[in-house]
Amino acid sequence: MHSPTFPVVRLPMLETVTLPLLMRVAVPQPRGEPIPDIDAAVDSALAGLKRLDGLSSGARIAIGVGSRGIAHLPRVVARTAAFLKGKGLQPFIVPAMGSHGGGTAEGQAAMLAQLGVSEAAVGAPVGATMEVVEYGRTEQGIPCCLDRNAAEADGVIVIGRVKSHTSFDRPIESGLVKMVAVGLGKVQGAHHVHRLGPRGLSEVLPRIAAISIAHAPFVGGLALVENAHKDFVAVEGVEPENFFEADQRLLKLAKSMLARLPFDRLDALIVEWIGKEISGAGMDYAVTGRTDIRGVPNPPTPLIHKVGVLGVTPESRGNGVGVGMANFITREVAEGLDLMAMYTNSVTAAITEKAFIPIVLPDERDLVRACVKTGWSPDPAEARLCVIRSTLHLNEMLVSPSLYAEVKGRAGVEVLEDSGPIRFSEDGRLLNRLSGRNGPKP
């Protein structure tokens, strides 16, 4: 890893900051109708893909798997591989994650393994490469690239979660189409799309995907939609010619299922974990209120004055893209960053701000104090402070009494632990936490 080193900068002014109390509350989030039998749902979805029936026995099928933290990902991939084997086909896994994993084949395979997708776990080998083939160019002159291992297979299936993107609203955001153009486009595909900013995502990405779908051996996609509790509410098999329609239709369902903060304004938000499997930008902008892309306005709410980040998930392998959206991080977080992975991802995406390193403080105690002190509250003891596990996990949160007063009485809001003082260990670690030190669990 290429990690930075920071000095210990202890600010005496933080020693006298009075912190608010914190209480643990349950906050209801959209649930929809969870799918009870995942295996049966995957089998049913794949059984509807007509092009699979036209393949010869022994045909090699590439399964495109990305780096996002899809719920039950190893189970879904394993079931997909088993289904294909049952039809006499030979499945193998290809990483479909653009420039993630440091932009190397080894890094992408390791990232899949960290997410639980390995040959031993899913019953299909992993064929990782950063080589691509080119299928032509868009009207704008942008090359259409696709993972060489996928392009040379007899068939390709992409597994994609349909959800909102981490930048701005448009008819098609994250889903099967993006997996084709960016995920399987590897570093080249990611760079060609992102280097044009919002125009690249809204105009160029769909054209690249359309060219790939027309020329590459796609036989279908597995589109997944999750609710705010990480349950599947949709598992659909989609024919390649229907990728666009399915993404657009399922995006409406996905957005209705998103977890959100129940507050319009915070003095300070403490995020225990950011990561690439949580969001492409480390943190969901609709939760933090921070898009910070030139030419794209931030959403009007929530307005959060200060954001502090306590950790980058192990699954991110040092890629801390998203720390640039925070005001404070700890020295431990800063020195655990892999600058090669983070800078590769950021430069490829042409969005450098998300890789900026904010103010680095010695420990979590100083970070919390700094967030509260600079959060614009007249009385720090009454600060509107919220602690969340991640922007994906909002079913429970720690809130100050001033915030609880806003949601008290709402349907489903429940106090799980009464208010008490914020506590730290002797070495300055926050003890009032929603997760352990090893990252958020599905």
**Cα distances (Å, whole numbers) of residue 145 to 160, 193, 212, 324, 341:** 18, 11, 8, 30, 21
Structure tokens belonging to residue 192: 């060609």
pLDDT, mean over the chain: 91
User: How far, in Å, CA of 276 to CA of 147, rounded?
Assistant: 21
The answer to whether 114 touches 102, Cβ cutoff 8 Å, is: no
Classify burial at 260, counting beta carbons within 10 Å of its beta carbon; exposed 0-12, middle 13-18, buried 19 or more.
middle
pLDDT bin (cut points 50, 70, 90) of residue 439 is: very low
pLDDT at 201: 63
Rounded to an integer, the average pLDDT of 112-125 is 94
pTM here is: 0.78
The per-residue pLDDT for 442 is 38
What average pLDDT does this structure show over 258-265? 92
Q: Are 192 and 200 in contact (CB under 8 A)?
A: yes
pLDDT tens digits, residue range 58-83? Answer: 999 999 999 777 889 999 999 999 99
Res 102: pLDDT:
80
Question: What separation in angstroms does the CA of 349 have from each of 109, 244, 340, 374, 400?
Answer: 20, 22, 14, 31, 37
Q: Name the burial class of residue 425, with classes exposed (0-12), middle (13-18) and buried (19+) by CB atoms within 10 angstroms of its CB.
A: exposed
CA distance 49 to 87: 12
Locate tokens 């010695």: which residue? Answer: 362
Q: Is the dihedral of CA 168, 170, 172, 178 positive or negative?
A: negative
Q: Which residues pair with 237 in a beta bridge?
A: 222
Rounded Cα–Cα distance for residues 248 and 177 (Å): 10
3-class DSSP state for residue 380? helix
Fold for the domain defined by 38-256: Rossmann fold (3.40.50)
Mean pLDDT of 268-284: 90
| 319 token code pair | 């890629």
Residues with Cβ within 8 Å of 196's Cβ and at least 6 positions away in sequence, in order, are: 140, 142, 203, 204, 350
Token readout for 193 is: 């799309």
**pLDDT tens digits, 413-430:** 999 999 999 999 999 999
d(CA 192, CA 205): 9
Strands 132-137 and 143-147 come out as antiparallel
Domain ranges of the chain: 12-29+259-420, 38-256
Higher pLDDT pick, 351 / 98: 98
pLDDT at position 438: 46
The CB-side HSE value for 214 (13 A sphere, CA atoms) comes to: 12
At 198 the pLDDT is 58
Confidence (pLDDT) at 125? 97
Tell me the pLDDT tens digit for each residue of 186-201.
888 777 766 656 555 6
Q: Decide if pLDDT at 441 tops 50.
A: no
The predicted model gives 121-136 an average pLDDT of: 95
Which range is least confidently modeled, 31-45, 235-249, 270-284, 362-376? 270-284
Write the pLDDT tens digit of every residue in 16-53: 999 999 999 999 998 899 999 999 999 999 999 999 99
